[in-house]
Amino acid sequence: MIDKKVKQRIINRFKKHENDTGSTEVQIAILTEEIAQLSDHLKSHKQDHSSRRGLLKKVGERRRLLKYLQKENEESFKDLAKKLKLKIAKKMIDDEEEKKRKEEALMAMEEEVEEEEEEV
């Protein structure tokens, strides 16, 4: 269970409007904090199977909410993933960098071809 003050800080950081406490972004952020706390708990209490089950349920719920957010609002999904430093955000950043490198290489090749055509 997360502390009320921590939960309120999370809500204030991720809310969309003044009275927002249940938007998808806020729910995902709260679940992320709960998952982090449960993971820390399970590192020192390896035999706590009921907490492990709760962790798996929270991970599944967060995964469903992330899928929904990605489908409904891709830009918000990317921003949230980066803010929360999720693994999927690292993958997205790597994919974007790879795409930029490929585009730059393609543009460089096109420029070389144009230069060769001008010489001929």
Q: How does pLDDT run across 46-102, given as a tens digit for each residue?
A: 999 999 999 999 999 999 999 999 899 988 998 999 899 888 877 777 778 888 888
Residues 11, 56 within the same domain: yes
Residues 102, 69 within the same domain: no
Residues 41, 98 within the same domain: no
pLDDT beyond 90 at 119 = no
pLDDT beyond 70 at 120 = no
Residues 37, 94 within the same domain: no
Residues 91, 65 within the same domain: no
Residues 92, 36 within the same domain: no
Give the Cα separation of 42 and 45 in Å (integer). Answer: 5
The model's confidence at residue 13, banded by pLDDT at 50, 70 and 90, is very high
Q: State the Cα torsion 72-75-79-81 to the nearest 10°.
A: 50
Average pLDDT over residues 25-54: 95
Q: Give residue-wise pLDDT tens across range 99-113.
A: 888 888 888 888 888
The model's confidence at residue 31, banded by pLDDT at 50, 70 and 90, is very high
Residues 65, 116 within the same domain: no
Residues 11, 30 within the same domain: yes
* Contacts of 21 by beta carbon, 8 Å cutoff, 6+ apart: 11, 15
* Contacts of 29 by beta carbon, 8 Å cutoff, 6+ apart: 10, 13, 14, 80, 83, 84
Structural domain span for residue 13 = 1-84
Residues 26, 79 within the same domain: yes
Residues 38, 9 within the same domain: yes
| Domains of the chain: total | 2
Residues 18, 55 within the same domain: yes
